[in-house]
């Protein structure tokens, strides 16, 4: 996978992309990335990439020309049209399912805005996906892009090392993940559940599924709405509701 990042502040990404799993993923060839500072494409004699909004109002709006031209430059050198993601509060709420969808792409482009917003023609003509990472507003799209890139890259083959890690994540199954424990078995009087020490993998799997469903019921019941439940899952839910 190749990722192009349109940003006025490329140095913000180095802490994320040049360390830990993201760094190893690039060294392994799982993905590559390139920063595109769209200020380099402006035709404005003062090197500006924004302007006042028509109709008045507070703040400045990103101008279409620099972003249109930088995207066109990327497309001109691409083998096929990339998926172009705009980070903005108005976008589709981000989810694990969206991360899995984007991880199937060969080429992603992220547009990180600043100021009051984007000229609407950027949305209409260039963008394939608008994504919001939550119902709040940040100073720019860079942090949102980092979140999405991290969540997508970790799903690429070989990145996590253990191929079972990603499918077991919270949200991948539609449920929150079960509790985890490691050594020691008794830490200051707090003991690991006996079932995890039993060696009975069928019982362990059942316990994990039970805990996963219970944690989802307690913390994110909205995730269970419309979910098709097995008879056993329904009996567990009835137990918790009546307790």
Known binding residue 133? Answer is yes
User: 208: which residues sit within 8 A by CB, 6+ positions away?
Assistant: 178
Please return the burial class of 97, using the count of CB atoms within 10 Å of its CB with bins 0-12, 13-18 and 19+. exposed
Residue 134 marked ligand-binding: yes
In this structure, the answer to whether residues 109 and 190 fall within a common structural domain is no
- In the Cβ-directed half-sphere of 103, how many Cα atoms lie within 13 Å? 19
Q: Is 113 annotated as a binding residue?
A: yes
Q: In terms of domains, do 45 and 108 share one?
A: yes
Residue 186 maps to a domain = yes
**Model confidence over 21-63: pLDDT tens digits?**
999 999 999 999 999 999 999 999 999 999 999 999 888 999 9
148 & 177 share domain: no
Q: What six digits make up the tokens of 10?
A: 């490329």
Return d(Cα 91, Cα 74) in angstroms, integer.
Answer: 23
Kindly tell me if the per-residue pLDDT of 169 is higher than 90: no
**What domain range is 50 assigned to?**
2-153
Catalytic residue among 116, 129, 130, 177: 116
Smallest Cα–Cα separation from 173: which of 215, 218, 234?
215
169 is catalytic: yes
Q: Which of 10, 89, 123, 130 is catalytic?
A: 89
In a domain, 67, yes or no: yes
Q: How many domains does the chain have?
A: 2
CB atoms within 10 A of CB 141: 27
Provide the pLDDT for residue 162.
Answer: 63
Q: With contact defined as beta carbons under 8 Å apart, do 27 and 159 qualify?
A: no
Do 23 and 110 sit in the same domain of this protein? Answer: yes
pLDDT digits (tens, 9 = 90+) for 62-113: 999 999 999 999 999 999 999 999 999 999 999 999 999 999 999 999 999 9
Task: Assign 173 a pLDDT band (cuts: 50, 70, 90).
Answer: confident
Domain ends where: 98, 120, 153? 153
Structure tokens belonging to residue 22 = 């993201």
189-239: pLDDT as tens digits: 999 999 999 999 999 999 999 999 999 999 999 999 999 999 999 999 999
The CATH number of residue 184's host domain is 1.10.1270.20
pLDDT of residue 170: 59
Rg (CA), the chain: 23
The answer, yes or no, to whether residue 116 has pLDDT greater than 90, is: no
22 three-class SS: helix
Cα 102 to the center of its chain, rounded Å: 9
Same domain for 28 and 144: yes
pLDDT value for 165: 59
Q: What is the pLDDT of residue 160?
A: 92
* Judgement on whether residues 71 and 102 belong to the same structural domain of the protein: yes
Is residue 5 part of an annotated ligand binding site?
no
How much is the pLDDT for 167?
60
188 is catalytic: no
Is the same domain home to 143 and 198? no
Query: Is 138 annotated in some ligand binding site?
Result: yes
Q: Is 225 a catalytic residue?
A: no
d(C-alpha 199, C-alpha 202), whole Å: 9
Q: pTM of this prediction?
A: 0.88
Q: Is 117 marked within a binding site?
A: no
Helix (H) or strand (E) holding 118, with range, is strand 117-118
204 is in an annotated binding site: no
* 11 a catalytic residue: no
Q: Of 130, 169, 177, 233, which one is the catalytic site residue?
A: 169
Q: What is the pLDDT of residues 119-161, one digit of tens each?
A: 999 999 999 999 999 999 999 999 999 999 999 999 999 999 7
Angle at 128 between CA 123 and CA 130, to 5 degrees: 65
Do residues 10 and 42 share a domain? yes
- C-alpha 137/C-alpha 139 separation (Å) is 7
E strand intervals along the chain: 2-6, 32-36, 50-51, 61-62, 83-93, 107-111, 117-118, 129-132, 186-187, 190-191
Is residue 4 scored above 60 in pLDDT? yes
- Residue 159: inside a domain, yes or no? no
């Amino acid at each position: 996978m190749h990722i192009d990042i349109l940003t006025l502040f490329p140095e913000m990404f180095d802490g994320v992309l040049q360390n830990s799993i993201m760094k190893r993923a690039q060294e392994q060839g799982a993905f590559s990335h390139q920063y595109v500072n769209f200020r380099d494409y402006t035709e404005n004699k003062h090197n500006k990439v924004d302007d006042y909004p028509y109709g008045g109002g507070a703040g400045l709006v990103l101008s279409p020309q620099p972003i249109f031209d930088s995207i066109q430059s990327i497309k001109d050198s691409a083998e096929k049209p990339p998926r172009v993601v705009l980070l903005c509060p108005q976008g589709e709420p981000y989810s694990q399912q969206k991360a899995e969808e984007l991880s199937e792409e060969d080429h992603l482009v992220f547009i990180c805005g600043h100021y009051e917003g984007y000229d609407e023609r950027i949305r209409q003509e260039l963008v394939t996906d608008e994504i919001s990472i939550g119902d709040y507003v940040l100073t720019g799209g860079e942090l949102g892009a980092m979140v999405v890139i991290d969540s997508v890259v970790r799903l690429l083959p070989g990145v996590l090392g253990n191929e079972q890690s990603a499918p077991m994540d919270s949200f991948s199954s539609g449920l929150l993940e079960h509790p985890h424990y490691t050594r020691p078995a008794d830490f200051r009087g707090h003991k690991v559940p006996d079932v995890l020490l039993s060696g009975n993998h069928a019982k362990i799997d059942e316990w994990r599924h039970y805990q996963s469903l219970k944690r989802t019921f307690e913390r994110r019941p909205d995730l269970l709405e419309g979910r098709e439940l097995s008879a056993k899952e329904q009996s567990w839910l009835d137990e918790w509701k009546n307790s």
